[in-house]
Amino acid sequence: MERLQHCVFLIAFSLVNAHELDAMTQSEWRLLYILRSLPDPVAEQYFVLLHVPLMAVLLHLCFSHDRIVSLRTRALVCAFGPIHALLHGSLSGHPQYSFDSPLSLGLIAGYAVAGMSYLLLRALVRERSGNQAARTGVQP
């Protein structure tokens, strides 16, 4: 089940990254508080460049050699999926919101579903580990 959990995490992470590619075509910076006050060419560059350190940090933490750091970061990335979908829902009435294509909606909803699925699988793996530890007397 841990292998399935890992695969679901990779799908969630891939969906959010694909969404960020789509966000470029939708000029998402026009919806973000600080960036929307800048001229489009400047805001676009900041939007792209800020993703470099963000992705570097996320990749480092998600694939850390420290298992606890890795698992907690993955849980946070996946927990953000449903929150992210709610944020998009709350912005859908904004005049410059344009994430209404099947692709955009599928990436946003897919990330939310994959994120929730990962969290559910993680809970099941933890429960299974706890039950196994209780039967054997060995702590996970």
pLDDT in tens, the chain (140 residues): 889 999 999 999 999 999 999 999 999 999 998 999 999 999 999 999 999 999 999 999 999 999 999 999 999 999 999 999 999 999 999 999 999 999 999 999 999 999 999 999 999 988 887 766 556 555 55
Name the token pair of 110.
């897919």
End-to-end CA, the chain: 16
Going by C-alpha positions, the residue among 76, 72, 68, 82 that lies closest to residue 114 is 82
* pLDDT computed for residue 48 by the predictor: 97
pLDDT of 128 reads 82
Per-residue tokens: 88: 């998009």
pLDDT at 86: 98
pLDDT at residue 126 in the model: 85
Question: How far is 38 from 29, CA to CA, in rounded Å?
Answer: 9
Task: Compute the distance between CA of residue 29 and CA of residue 33 in angstroms, rounded to an integer.
Answer: 8
- In the numeric block, which tokens belong to residue 19? 């969404």
Separate counts of helices (H) and strands (E) for the chain: 4, 0
pLDDT at 64: 98
Closest CA to 95 of 20, 17, 27: 27
